[in-house]
Amino acid sequence: HDLRHSSASSFTGNNTLAIKFHAPSSSSRFSLNLTLPHPLHRSYDRILFHFNPRQFQKGGQLVINDKQNTMWGNAINVPLSTMPLMFGKVACTLVVQIGEEGFDVFLEGVHCARLEHRWDWGVLKEILEEGEKKKV
């Protein structure tokens, strides 16, 4: 089901993403990116939400960010020591709730961070509408 700007901007319909994952204890990092639909994300130059736990960087950091037209925003860095264990567990559950304020991040049911919306809804609407025109 494609994200449509009308339902996204009013926050109706599905607005929660839940992922169960395994990050080996030997893994240094992984990432999850929420983007515009292909090809509108332009080879990942447009990322609405970037989730990137880095186990060995600065004592362990979760980096959350966005990317607009090849430029990364100001990252939010959360120490992994303040969150439930992610690396080396058999399974871990990540929930991202998209709300009016932004992206709320829950790990194992614990609220860990929020990335406030940084994309202008008008700009997103124009990008999505342009993409729809190209499909016709």
Q: How many CB atoms neighbour CB 24 within 10 A?
A: 11
Phi, psi of 19 (to 5 degrees): -135, 130
- What is the reported pTM? 0.80
Q: CA 86: distance to chain centroid?
A: 17
12 or 94: whose pLDDT is higher? Answer: 94
Model confidence over 50-85: pLDDT tens digits? 999 999 999 999 999 999 888 999 999 999 999 999
Whether 105 contacts 96, CB under 8 Å:
yes
Digit-coded pLDDT (tens) for 12-62: 556 889 999 999 999 999 999 988 776 666 677 889 999 999 999 999 999
Residue 54: Cβ within 10 Å count: 17
Higher pLDDT among residues 3 and 73, named by residue: 73
Higher-pLDDT residue of 115 and 122 is: 115
The mean per-residue pLDDT over the stretch 103-112 comes to 95
Cα 8 from chain centre: 15
Identify the burial level of 61 via C-beta atoms within 10 angstroms of its C-beta, where 0-12 means exposed, 13-18 middle and 19 or more buried.
Answer: buried
pLDDT > 50? residue 11: no
Whether 6 has a pLDDT exceeding 70, the answer reads no
